[in-house]
Structures are given as C-alpha cells and as structure tokens.
Amino acid sequence: MPVYSADAIVIRSREYGESDRLITLFSREKGKIEAVAKGVRKPKSTQRGGTQLFTYADFLLYRGKTLDTVSQAQPKENFIHLWDDFDRTIAASGITELLDVSTIKEQPEPEAFTLTLSFLFLLKHLDPYIAQASYSLRLMHLLGYLPALDRCAECGRDLKGEQAFLSAEAGGLLCAACKNNRPVKTLNPGSLAIMGQLLGAELKILDRLRWNKKTKEEILGCLCIYCEEKFERKLQAWRQGSELWT
C-alpha cells in the first residue's frame, strides 16, 4: 500500500464506526484529503491528540481504494486557545467549515493552507469574528469567488458611500436600483469600508480594527448567505455563530 506524508490541519472530524474518526485534512501539498483515523476514540489511543479538530500535524497516510488511513499523526500545534473560549471555537469552526465547502479534494491550494494556518494563530489575540470575516474575504479572494466590493455587478455604478446589496445570484454587489425585488441583505457604506480593510489590511494591524454590533451583523450575515448560495451548502458553524453575533 503506498504511503505518503502530509503537512496538514484537521478541518473536520466526525465519529465513524465504533471507535474511529473520519477526518478531513487540509494539507500544504495536496489540498483537501479525507482519511480514517482508526481506533482514535479508544481512551488509550496514542493518536487522539493528532487527529482532533484544528490540530496542525505531520501526517503519514496509507492510500486506500476509497478512503485513505492515518498511520501516524505527529502534532506540531494543538491550538489549545481555540478550545478555551466559545467564541474562538465558533470562529475557528466557521473558518475551517468555509475552507471545507469552498475547496475540492486533492487540489493543491498552498496559499489557502498558509492563510488558514495564519488565522488559527491570529485567533489567539484577535477579535474572533473580525478574524472569521477577514479570513473569509481573503479566502474567497484567493479562490476567485470574491466579487468587486466597489461597484454594482449589473450596471457598474460606483458604490462608494452608498448602500449596497450582496447577491450570489447576481454574482456580486448591487446598487439600490438594480436590486429590484431580490430578497438580499443591506450593506451600509460603513460596512463596505470595513470589508475593504478586512480584506486588504496587513495582518499585523487587524487588531486595531473596530466595528460595532450592527456592522458585525451586516458583514457576517451577508457573507454567510453569500457563501451558502455560492456553494449550495448550509454553513452550520456560521449559523451557530449567528446566535452570538446578532
């Protein structure tokens, strides 16, 4: 059986069979990988720590016919801070969930890997929802899913200083005239300006960014609906989070 190694983050983990876990990894080399971690739910399993959600580890995997199997997991970072605080757990879950739904298996996306790892570290001190929103805008941009944030997708009108409406169906932002009767959420000018900073500011200055409750709700709410429509999947962690940020 061919064996391969992967420098990867556990982005999803669910119970499988009697004592196994089915884990989704996002690796630097191969992108997304699904694998079974056998026996890791047994109390004495030595691989328990390496296969927990958010863990960054060196993996050794066996290639299988349908599913690969984890042979070894050597943790490099367990991101304990993500489990200490519920908001951080939810934001990190939102980050890994979006990475999972927006990528396909075994397509290398090394920049998305680096971005994800950076944000899991940034969640140590950054406002968790600023981190989630900033990560999501950057990931969408990187993968080519982010529309222009300064003009109407239909008529091209400059939206600076105006209300805008984000629509996956229209493929971007709409002005008030082009919105018609579409049931889309409003983004006020202040929110659009903050989105520009969340996307473009240097990572080291993100902790200086401030937003109020209304802006937070608008940005995260619009991003959630946009991504759900774009990828035709319900974002469970985002929905759970919405109870905290609304």
Q: Of 174 and 237, which CB lies nearer to Zn ion in the complex structure?
A: 174
Q: Of 11 and 174, which CB lies nearer to Zn ion in the complex structure?
A: 174
What's the rounded Cα separation, in Å, for the pair 151 and 171? 12
Binding mask 44-83 for Zn ion (x = CB under 5 A): ----------------------------------------
Q: Do 40 and 52 touch, CB atoms closer than 8 A?
A: no
- Residue at 11: amino acid letter: I
Asked if residue 175 binds Zn ion (CB under 5 A), the reply is yes
Q: Of 130 and 153, which CB lies nearer to Zn ion in the complex structure?
A: 153
Q: Using CB under 5 A, pick the residue from 60, 178, 201, 209 that binds Zn ion.
A: 178
CB of 9 to Zn ion, least distance (A): 40
Q: Can you read off the two tokens belonging to residue 122?
A: 């940034």
| DSSP letters spanning 79-144 | -THHHHSHHHHHHHHHHHHHHHHHS-BT---HHHHHHHHHHHHHTTTS-HHHHHHHHHHHHHHHHT
Asked if residue 35 binds Zn ion (CB under 5 A), the reply is no
- Residues 6+ away with beta carbon under 8 Å from 9: 25, 26, 27, 54, 55, 56, 96, 113, 116, 117, 120
CB of 175 to Zn ion, least distance (A): 4
What's the rounded Cα separation, in Å, for the pair 172 and 41? 44
Residues 129-158 that bind Zn ion (CB under 5 A): 152, 154-155, 157
Closest CA to 23 of 38, 12, 39, 7: 12
CB of 189 to Zn ion, least distance (A): 15
Q: Which stretch binds Zn ion (CB under 5 A): 14-22, 51-59, 121-129, 174-182?
A: 174-182
Asked if residue 224 binds Zn ion (CB under 5 A), the reply is no
CB of 158 to Zn ion, least distance (A): 10
Interacting residue ranges for Zn ion, rule: CB under 5 A? 152, 154-155, 157, 175, 178
